[in-house]
Homo-oligomer: A and B are copies of this chain.
């Protein structure tokens, strides 16, 4: 996956780790890419879950039986991935860039 190289979170942003984890696909562990939600309320990248279902008709997380027709777009997750990554990048930058003391001349 080459969408974006992800820097580790600086120590001050460790609290964002849980949000980060919830926005990842349980199959590829990358950020969700075109999120689809199952009836059992689990989310996967569109490509990841379709590939999985071509092999086994069940949820990879909870094993509930399912078919491709049961999948539904979960667009808010796609938007959250974008806004979360932007926020994280900005916060990391602020944490790294700002010198401890910056007196004006």
Q: A-side interface residues toward B, CB under 8 Å?
A: 12-13, 15-16, 18-19, 22-23, 37, 39, 41, 43, 72-77, 79-80, 83-84, 86-87, 90-91, 94, 100-101
Oligomer: number of copies:
2
User: Judging by beta carbons under 8 Å apart, are B41 and A73 in contact?
Assistant: yes
User: How far apart sit A80 and B18, CA to CA, in the bound complex (Å)?
Assistant: 8
Q: Is the interface of A mostly helix, strand, loop or mixed?
A: helix
User: How far apart sit A43 and B79, CA to CA, in the bound complex (Å)?
Assistant: 13
**Smallest beta-carbon distance A71→chain B, Å:** 11
- B-chain residues with CB within 8 Å of residue A39 when the two chains form the complex: 72
**Smallest beta-carbon distance A103→chain B, Å:** 11
